[in-house]
Amino acid sequence: MEGNILIVDDDDIVVKSCDSVLAPEGFTITGTTDSSKAIELIRDNDYDIVITDLNMPGIDGFELIRQINALKPSTGIVVITGFTSQQNIKDILQLGIIDYISKPFSPHTLLETILKATYLIKKIKALSTAEPDTEPDAKKKTEALNNIIDEYKSVPGSLLRVLESAQDLIGYLPPSVQRFIANGLRIPVSEVYSVVSFYPYFTMKARGKHHIRVCVGNACHAKKSGQILTRLKRNLNFNEDNITADGKFSFETVRCLGACGFAPIVEIDYDTHGAVDPDKTLDILKDYH
Amino acid sequence: MPAIKVRATDRSIKKLTIEDLKIIREKYKDPRTIGTKASILVCGGSACAARGSLKIQENLSGELEKKGISSSEVSVYETGCNGFCNQSPVINVYPDMTLYQAFKPEDVPAIVDEHFIKGQPADRFVYKDIKEKKSIPNRQDIPFFSLQTRRVLNKSGLIQPDDIEAYIFHNGYTGLVRAVTAMKPQEIVKEIKDSGLRGRGGGGFPTGLKWEISMNRPDHTKYVICNAGPISRSIIENDPHSIIEGMIIAGRAIGAAKGFIYVREPDNLFILRRLHTAIERARGCGFLGDNIFDSGFDFTIDVSFGAGTFICGEETALIRSMEGKRGFPTPKPPYPAQSGLWGRPTIVDNAETFANVPLIIANGQAWFRSVGTHSSPGTKIFTLGGAVNLNGLIEIPMGTTFRSIVYEIGGGLKKKSTLKAVHIGGPTGGVIPESLIDTPATYEDITAAGVIVGSGNLIIMDNNTCMVNEALGAMEFGHGESCGKCVPCRIGTKVMYDKLLDITEGRGKLEDIDMLAELAFEVKRTTLCGLGQTSPIMVLTAIKYFREEFETHIKDHWCQAGKCRTLSTFVIEPKTCTGCGSCARKCPQGAISGEKKKPHLIDQALCIQCRSCFETCPFVSIRIEPSVAEEVDSW
Ligand SMILES: Cc1cc2nc3c(=O)[nH]c(=O)nc-3n(C[C@H](O)[C@H](O)[C@H](O)COP(=O)(O)O)c2cc1C
Ligand code: FES
């Protein structure tokens, strides 16, 4: 597997042994025994995974993790630790890491964990590149989200409104945003998730620049909306998340948009197109750049 | 949803008195009479807007100017939807109400030239009778319009829905004045009860009775909710003030000070803008707010959003969703009228129900009962779709037969097709066969036929419809939209879906039919809410009326409509094939070959059963035969 990995441990033997296990698997490995050097490396390079010890002289693992989260939040962190009591592990996991390995560990455990972590982090990165957030932009959005939460914090039953506004702001509702909202409204994350997953309007995946809704309700079905769908799929190459590779279009099917006398209906962004001739489906898209 | 900006009113607004309303009615300059010679009413409904109504307005003004006709002679005015959406775009020329339809913005010069210069209707763009092809230039003579009784939709296509003065001019807010100044709450409830108005949201529950339950509750805080799911889109688009007026009257009747319009789709900007504008203007005129018409009665309305999902049309689920929770329905009783939003008495009514209320209060219950039947009085709006010539929005007296709807208003079936069934009730509705076409459209008769009024959605199905396939679609909807709370709905619909899929793919057994019918009956009987109680209706009615079709699917592996791909073979009848080649040109697989003017042949190995040859053939020479596959997988 490919992946750029940094190993930080004050014990040189650990760094070397990790290197000898992971390098033959195709990973690119950098190792250091100095945690302040590690911070520089992280600032200047893009690592998929940082493997770090917790007990280190100078900047310890906890501080390092905090710094990584601030500098490069999309880096996956795997912790090597000697403490394995329940409480300790809980504390460590709360720092926002992907996984941990307890000492002593076998080469097999190391490899398994790192493979899994790399796989995960690549998935997460793929999602976040669909939404290229520049730093100041992200800050502005956080602020806006905070404002929304403040506005509705004391209004009972306003969760749906907050989620709607948040989705409007960010485009979708990834787990991090759901957690943020739950914290802000002082309700359990599970409650936020239960609402997000229930309503079809909410999406946990990024959408394309233009979002296409094809009605497959029975009036539209009777007017061949199925063929519209087939044509879209055949010509636009959607991936498994229903987005095109260039991020321009995404689609979903909906049931009844209430304009049955004008079936079949295709909605793109906020425009309603009615009586769509399946043969001319692609023509409608021309106006969306 | 993006922020909604409300346009400021054209005229300055202030709190109006009853006197002011009278003055508006007298002084209001009907925009239709601004042009001394004529006014062109351009339909700005969503269908027409999508077909370029803006461009048409532009072209009209430009063309009139070019021809030297000033805007004081012929004015151009945008209206709401005419309900003739299938023929969009639509314009009407007042005062004759010459209706031009299905043209292109580029055709405007031709219309202006013929109508205003030559002084005769531009025949190419007027509506033609379907059978005799005779031109019918005037809107009021077109059967689609003349056979309707438009009460709720009476201003549709005639006024600009955002214009509150136009609404007042057409006797709007008369009902409200009467309700708050001359009637006690008990009298309002009695009037509604006596009118026999039944909920237009599907169930047909007597509205007055529901209001009475709420009125009699001692609570201080009560709520009025308008259930504005997608099916109410047409009314909101056309006449938002009638809903608002109905809600205020309801608030007065039950003693509520707060109303909500629950819009299920938060991204329907057209609707939201219209609602916000209407609420803003009603507030500006003092119809909403404190001390309405100095009666001491206060009422406000807010728009509330759902986030999609069909189940939130069910009233208890809707209330949960307004409380910011998952839209799970709760068992009734307690009914929302007793304990609804935040545990307070709440009446949830459909938008069309509310739109009927001001008419009843203004004109009296006897007037309301003057059309319709004894137990289903008044009119009902249906959307007409499917294989009829004219699709669109229609309002008819209850009790009109489906025959009249299909053949007279809808202009009969399209060419080459014959009527097979009418699908009633929207996604959870069912079908009645051609033999029951004389059923009157009333709550009782429709229920007796085994279906529901539901959303008032009519789909006319022709001989190209496969009922097994339709039932499959209904079950896909049923299990897709099930909220998952109760077992019969969540699992029952899935089991039915699987069985139906087996039948459409040739794996069915004869005993499956009875099993399906039994299961559908049990799901209908045992589920918690209206969704599970109605979604099996399609399966039940399909089996009840079209059982032999299930049998041919199972026994003969034959889908006569050619909709189930594995159960049909398309064959060209050599006797009638003229060899015109039009099917061969359409075939996406290149499976059809043959010499010109000689019978063609379909290569079955290439055929993907897409039906395009069947639909193209002008000579009906393509037959659909049973599946040729010898061994159909039987696992
Ligand atoms: C699954 C389901 C969906 C419904 N959808 C709607 C809807 O979109 N609009 C509506 O007015 N009523 C809908 N209803 C009916 C409502 O539960 C309720 O009966 C209605 O809003 C009451 O108003 P009415 O008395 O004016 O008909 C639905 C019911 C069910 C079971
Ligand atoms: S939108 Fe014009 S007729 Fe309906």
> pLDDT per residue over B358-408, tens digit each?
999 999 999 999 999 999 999 999 999 889 998 888 999 999 999 999 999
**CA–centroid distance, residue B82 to ligand 2 (Å):** 5
CB pair distance less than 8 Å for B50 and A164: no
- For the complex shown, is ipTM > 0.85? no
Residues on chain A touching B86 (C-beta within 8 angstroms): 261-262, 275
Q: Which residues pair with B379 in a beta bridge?
A: B397
C-alpha B315 to ligand 1 mean position (Å): 6
Largest CA distance in chain B: 85
pLDDT(A44) > 90 = no
Cβ B477–A219 below 8 Å, yes or no? no
Q: Would you state the pLDDT for residue B132?
A: 82
| Ligand 2 pocket residue status of B81, Cβ below 6 Å | yes
Torsion of Cα atoms, B141 then B147 then B150 then B155, to 10°: -20
Token output for A170: 């960010």
Q: Which residue has the higher pLDDT, B554 or B229?
A: B554
Return the structure tokens found at B25: 């009615």
Kindly tell me if the per-residue pLDDT of B267 is higher than 80.
Answer: no
pLDDT at position A85, please? 67
Provide the residue type at B380 as one letter. Answer: K
More confident site: A235 or B468: B468
- Residue in A with minimal Cα distance to B586: A279
B415-436 pLDDT, tens digit per residue, is 888 999 999 988 889 999 999 9
Residue B170 contacts by C-beta under 8 Å, 6 or more apart in sequence? Answer: B154, B155, B159
C-alpha gyration radius of chain A: 24
Structural tokens at position A142: 């956080």
Residue B419 main-chain phi, psi, to 5 deg: -70, 135
Asked if A201 lies within 8 A of B265 by C-beta distance, the reply is yes
Task: Quote the Cα angle for B349-B266-B288, to 5°.
Answer: 50
Ordered by where they begin, the domains of chain B are 31-142 (3.40.30.10), 164-369 (3.40.50.11540), 379-462 (3.10.20.600), 467-555 (1.20.1440.230), 568-625 (3.30.70.20)
Ligand 1 centroid–CA B224 distance in Å is: 14
Q: How close A92 gets to chain B, by Cα (Å)?
A: 33
- Does an H or E element contain B368, and which? helix B365-369
Rounded distance, CA B175 to CA B181, Å?
Answer: 10
* A127 close to B274: Cβ distance less than 8 angstroms: no
| DSSP symbols for B179-203 | HHHH--HHHHHHHHHHHT-B-TTTT
Contact B461, B418 (CB under 8 A): no
Cβ pair B306, B264 in contact under 8 A: yes
Q: Cα separation of A184 and A101, whole Å? A: 33
From the CA of B86, which ligand is nearest?
Answer: 2
**Is the Cα torsion angle B543, B546, B547, B553 positive or negative in sign?**
negative
CA of B313 to the centre of ligand 1 (A): 5
Q: Which two tokens stand for residue B506?
A: 């040739």
Beta bridge partners of A244: A238
Tens-place pLDDT, residues A80-122: 877 666 667 777 777 778 888 887 888 888 888 888 888 888 7
Residue A289 above 90 pLDDT? Answer: no
Strands B90-94 and B98-101, how do they pair?
antiparallel
Report pLDDT digits (tens) over B486-543: 899 999 999 999 999 999 999 999 999 999 999 999 999 999 888 899 999 999 999 9
Dihedrals phi, psi of B592, to nearest 5 degrees: -105, 130
pLDDT band at A222 (very low <50, low <70, confident <90, very high): confident
Helices (H) and strands (E) in chain A, counts: 12, 9
Residue identified by tokens 């007793």 is: B338
Which tokens go with B387? Answer: 């294989």
Confidence of residue A259 (pLDDT cuts 50, 70, 90): confident
For residue A223, the model assigns a pLDDT of 81
Nearest 5°: phi and psi at B535? -65, -25
Cis peptide before B588 (omega within 30 of 0): no
Nearest CA to A73 out of A99, A97, A55 is that of A97
Residue B577 in tokens: 């094939």
In degrees, to the nearest 5, what angle opens at C-alpha B575 toward C-alphas B574 and B580? 65
- How far is it, in rounded angstroms, from Cα B56 to Cα A230? 33
- Is residue A203 within 8 A of residue A173, CB to CB? The reply is yes
> CB B383 to CB A260 under 8 A?
yes
- Are A178 and A192 spatial neighbours (Cβ–Cβ below 8 Å)? yes
State which ligand 2 atom lies nearest to the alpha carbon of A261: 4
Atom of ligand 1 lying closest to residue B428 CA: 1
B411 touches chain A (CB under 8 A): no
State whether the beta carbon of B315 lies less than 6 angstroms from ligand 1. yes
Determine the Cα–Cα distance for residues B188 and A66; give it in Å rounded to an integer.
Answer: 67
B81 Cα–ligand 2 center, Å? 4
The answer to whether B83 contacts A254, with C-beta atoms less than 8 Å apart, is: no
- Tell me the CA–centroid distance for residue A270 and ligand 2, in Å: 18
pLDDT at B13 (0 to 100)? 56
Alpha carbon of B325: minimum distance to chain A alpha carbons (Å): 6
Q: What is the pLDDT averaged over residues A114-138?
A: 69
* Residues present in chain A in total: 289
Q: What is the pLDDT of residues B188-222, one digit of tens each?
A: 999 999 999 999 988 889 999 999 999 999 999 99
What 3-state DSSP class applies to B237? helix
Instruction: For residue B105, give the H/E element and its range.
Output: none
Size of interface A-B (CB pairs under 8 A): 142
Question: Which of B 601-620 lie inside 8 A of A, CB atoms?
Answer: none
Nearest CA to CA, how far is A177 from chain B (Å)? 17
| CA atoms of B178 and B171, how far apart (whole Å) | 12
* Spatial CA neighbour of A180 closest among A194, A162, A203: A162
**Interface membership of A274 toward B (CB under 8 Å):** yes
Q: Which residues of A touch B232 (CB under 8 A)?
A: 258
User: How many helical (H) and strand (E) elements, i.e. helices and strands, does chain B have?
Assistant: 25, 19
* Model confidence at B11: pLDDT above 60: no
For A147-165, the pLDDT digits (tens) are: 889 988 888 888 998 998 8
* Amino acid of residue B527: T
Q: How confident is the model at residue B71 (pLDDT cuts 50, 70, 90)?
A: confident
Percent above pLDDT 90 for chain B? 50
Burial code (b: 16+ CB inside 10 Å, e: under 16) for A109-140 equals: ebbebbeebbeebeeeeebeebeeeeeeeeee
Q: What is the pLDDT at residue B405? A: 95
CA dihedral A252, A256, A259, A262 (to 10 degrees): 70
DSSP secondary structure of A28-85: EEEEES-HHHHHHHHHHS--SEEEEES--SSS-HHHHHHHHHHH-TT-EEEEEES---
Say if residues B246 and B472 touch (Cβ distance below 8 Å). no
Query: What is the gyration radius of the CA atoms in chain B, in angstroms?
Result: 27
The residue whose two tokens read 């709007």 is B172
Centre of ligand 2 to C-alpha B237, Å, is: 10
User: Distance between CA atoms of A283 and A266, rounded to whole angstroms?
Assistant: 12
| DSSP-derived secondary structure for A94-161 | TTT-SEEEESS--HHHHHHHHHHHHHHHHHHHHHHHTS---HHHHHHHHHHHHHHHHHHTTSTT-HHH
Nearest CA to ligand 1 atom 10: B201
- Tens of pLDDT, residues B116-173: 888 888 888 999 888 888 889 898 899 899 999 999 998 888 888 888 999 999 999 9
pLDDT higher than threshold 90 for residue A274: no
User: Is the minimum CB–CB distance between B81 and chain A shorter than 8 Å?
Assistant: no
CB A225 within 8 A of CB A232: no
- Average pLDDT of the segment spanning B472-485: 89
Measured distance CA(B136)–CA(A270) in Å, rounded: 36
CA–CA distance, B203 with B426 (Å, rounded to integer): 13
Higher pLDDT residue, B60 or B15?
Answer: B60
Share of chain B above pLDDT 70, in %: 97
- B423 close to B459: Cβ distance less than 8 angstroms: yes
B99 CB within 6 A, ligand 2: no
Could you say which residues from 217 to 276 on chain B have a Cβ atom under 8 Å away from some Cβ of chain A?
A: 229-234, 265-270
- Pocket-testing residue among B210, B224, B314, B537, ligand 1, by greatest number of atoms within 8 A of Cβ: B314
Provide mean pLDDT across the span B91-96: 88
Percent helix, strand, coil in chain A, to 5, is 50, 15, 35
Mean residue pLDDT of chain B comes to 89
Averaged over B431-454, what is the pLDDT? 94
| Residue of B197, B305, B185, B176 whose CA lies nearest to B241 | B176
* Stretch 214-273 of chain A: residues touching chain B, C-beta under 8 Å: 217-219, 221-223, 254-263, 270-273
pLDDT at B634 over 60: no
* pLDDT > 90? residue B95: no
Tell whether B50 is within 8 A of chain A (Cβ): yes
Nearest-Cα residue of chain A relative to residue B322? A157
The answer on pLDDT for B3 being more than 50 is: no
pLDDT given at position A127? 62
Taking contacts as CB-CB distances below 8 angstroms, the residues of chain B near A199 are 306-309, 321, 327
CA-closest residue to ligand 1 atom 23: B349
List, for residues B402-414, the tens digit of each pLDDT value: 999 999 999 999 8
